[in-house]
Structure 1
Amino acid sequence: MKKKIGFLLLTAALLGACQQGKTNQAAKNTDQTSTKTATSTTTSPSSAASSSETSTSSSKVEKSDVERYASVFEEYRTLLQAVNTGDRSILQTAPSQGGDALHQALDPTIKEMLFRPNTEIFYSFTDLNGDGKNELLLATKNQDRTNTYPFALYYLDGETPALLAQSLVAPVGGGRASFSCYQGGQVLASDWSSGTGEGTSRLLQITSDGAQKLSEQAVQIPGTDLDATFGLDKDKMIDPNSLTWQSLQDYLNQ
């Protein structure tokens, strides 16, 4: 081993001697190369700005569906907290939004429904019009959870959640309301009197930046063939049971 080490040291010494004459020239070349490299790697202000913009853009994170509809989840959190404490005064609370066909206020009948024993709410994020942004459906289910009954449909008006349609059954003699969703983002919403059956149906369209009312007709329920009246294809009606649903209470209790 000592002989091997000695041989390596001797070889290194000889190589160092051979290279001694080239040291000055190598140093000169190194200085020139360093200067060129420093010059070529200097970044212009415009390039730096472009790089900064790219970095900022790539770091932007899309909102989740829950974040987009956060105000809706908070509204139901408040309602369910009132249910848990038996605070029925919330039924008289004035709605925070609503007032027209595209921005409804949550009906007090739906709030009353939440106070019924063992009422569980389910939610589903579904892209009804195929624009890459999900709408939010809320529903109840029957006891064995084989059938789903949507009672509220929310969409994004720009970036703001809005209630587009709701289903409800008021006490005897009161109002009724229902809605159906169709492929392509069309929504047929109706409200009528349980006593006379007279009411109004509206054909709505969810768009990439909101919703619009396409048409409105006076109807008789039962009696009027709504699909025929509004030129809708029954085969394109979305079956709520085909959607994926999750428990709202389970989510809020996390």
Structure 2
Amino acid sequence: MKGFGKGLAVVLLGASLLAACGTKTRVSKQQTGSDKQEQASSSSSVDEAKKKEEQAKLEKEAYASVFSDYELMLQVAKTDGAVYEKVGKILPNLKHPINSWVVESLLATPSNQRYALYDVDGNGTKELLTASISDNQSIFVTGIYYQKQGQPTLLAQGFVAGNGGARSSFNLYKDGTVLSIGWSSGTGDGIGLLYQLSKDGGEAQKIEEQDFRVVGSDASAVFGKSSDLKIDVDSLEWQMFDQLETPSEAEKSSSAQGILPEELSNLAGTWTGQVSRASETASIKMTISPDGQVTSDVNGYSSSSRFEGVEEVGPNTYRYVTSPGSYSSALTPSLGVGGVGVKYDYGFKLEGNQLTILIWEARSDVAFDYTKPMSSSVVLTK
């Protein structure tokens, strides 16, 4: 019996070892299969990422001539010289002519320029949108390009004139329509053109045109478009142009120090207010950075400017020091000026938390009288 017990024990032990080995073998096989699945999944993810990258490259290459224009403008923006001289270098060399105010805005704030590729009409071919982004990350779209028979074509633009009061913007809708609006800030009157993008890649068709009072109106409603049909451009995937470099730490430090004298440190910040023009009320938000960057928003329409310093011209009164021909719209939000044989200078009066926007006007051959600003001033508060 003892011998039998030992033999049984050996048999049972051997069976246990075999069972254990068999179990280990099966587990090992399962792990190997799992590894293969992970490798296959990883390989699939890499392939998918490559496909997306290649697709994005092709979509961008379809608008190569437009990107070439922006490369030119951003390169010129880095050079020395007056803004009007830079504009003169750019406009004759653009493959796709654009409004000079769009160019001036870009030159004033090159680092704010962005682009997005988005299929507005859902036909599988993306349109190219260009825009300027403000400090609060809101988007002002400056252009929409579409493919007309395989060629990039400019359809609509957005800009705020530095003087003269001309304004332009456009809305995008989910049904593939684009509403281009142009108006005068002085009268508030303008014209709207509604276009339909072509599903087959042909020319966009103008389907409606109306003269209407733009200021104070819901342009979408005027053209029978519901608010939920409008594309939210702020939510699109906006990207930086390749030519825009990340500022160095030294540049960031220099920018943070600013150009404002200590007694005007209160000028930096966000100022708000309202002004009535032609029985309409405009809501204004003006943000001034210590480095001289100015962004203004008037009823949702943004503009940007830059000043290089300030000069005191009276008690608590200063003029902006800017480059000749620089873009000045953001310095004088809601105040449109223009004329033949006259010149303008821009500034402000700062009294505590009250900022009065000032414009001085003089004949081209006469010096400015800084004791007599134009009467149409704007008062903002912090």
Which category of TM-score, normalised to the shorter sequence, fits these structures? 0.5 to 0.7
Match of residue 87, structure 2, among 66, 78, 91: 91
Tell me how far 1:85 sits from its aligned partner.
1.1
Paired residues, what number?
Answer: 186
Pairing of 1:130-209 with structure 2 (within 5 A):
130-145=122-137, 147-208=138-199, 209=201
**CA contact under 8 A between 2:66 and 2:95: conserved in structure 1?**
no
- In 2, the alpha carbon distance for the partners of 1:252 and 1:213 equals 39
In structure 1, C-alpha distance between the alignment counterparts of 2:229 and 2:189, rounded to whole Å: 26
The question of whether the paired residues in 2 share the 8 Å contact of 1:172 and 1:194 is answered with: no
Match of 2:241 in 1: 248
Aligned partners of 2:149, 2:236: CA distance in 1, in Å? 24
Counterpart amino acid of residue 73 in structure 1: F
Question: Does 2:234 match 1:234?
Answer: no
Larger RCO: 1 or 2 (CA < 8 Å, sep 6+): 1
Checking the alignment, whether the CA contact within 8 Å between 1:95 and 1:106 is kept in structure 2 is: no
Q: CA deviation at 1:180?
A: 0.7
* Residue identity matched to 2:105: M
Of 68, 76, 87, 1:74 maps to 68
Work out the percentage of aligned pairs sharing the same amino acid: 35
Structure 1 126/168 Cα, relative in aligned 2: closer, same or farther at 3 Å?
same
More helix by share: 1
- Secondary structure at 2:69's aligned position in 1? helix
State which drifts further: 224-233 or 162-171: 224-233
Match in the other structure for 1:218: 211
Shift of the alpha carbon at 1:91?
Answer: 1.1
Contact 2:116/2:239 (8 A) holds in 1: yes
Name the SS for the 1:115 alignment partner: helix
Cα RMSD after superposing both structures = 2.4
Identify the match of residue 118 of structure 2 among 118, 126, 144: 126
Q: Runs ≥4 in structure 1, deviation > 6 angstroms?
A: none
User: Is residue 2:108 matched to residue 1:116?
Assistant: yes
CA gap 1:67/1:117 in 2 versus in 1, 3 angstroms: closer
Question: Counterpart in 1 of 2:316?
Answer: none
CA contact (8 A) 1:121 1:138 kept: yes
Partner deviation per Cα, 1:69-122 (whole Å, 9 max, x = no partner): 000000010111111113543413337567xxxxxx411111111222563211
Q: Equivalents in 2 of 1:171, 1:251: separation in Å? A: 24
For the residue of structure 2 that corresponds to 1:138, the secondary structure is strand
Q: Deviations over 1:27-69 (max 9, x none)?
A: xxxxxxxxxxxxxxxxxxxxxxxxxxxxxxxxxx988111110
Decide which structure has the larger Cα Rg and report it.
1
Indicate if the aligned counterparts of 1:77 and 1:252 stay in contact, CA closer than 8 A.
Answer: no
* Gap regions ≥5 residues in structure 1: 1-60, 99-104
TM-score (norm 2): 0.45
Distance in 2 separating the partners of 1:80 and 1:118: 6
CA distance in 2, matches of 1:252, 1:131: 34
* Offset at residue 176 of structure 1 (A): 0.2
Distance 2:224 2:144 in 1: 22
**Normalising by structure 1, what TM-score?**
0.67
Name the CA distance, whole Å, in 2 between partners of 1:159 and 1:90. Answer: 31
Measured in 2, the distance between the counterparts of 1:116 and 1:168 equals 13
Aligned counterpart, 2:5: none
Greater strand fraction, Structure 1 or Structure 2: 2
Q: Distance in 2 between matches of 1:122 and 1:171?
A: 21
CA distance in 2, matches of 1:165, 1:111: 14
In the superposition, relative to structure 1, how do residues 106 and 230 fare at CA in structure 2: closer, same or farther (>3 Å)?
A: same
For 1:214, give the aligned amino acid: I
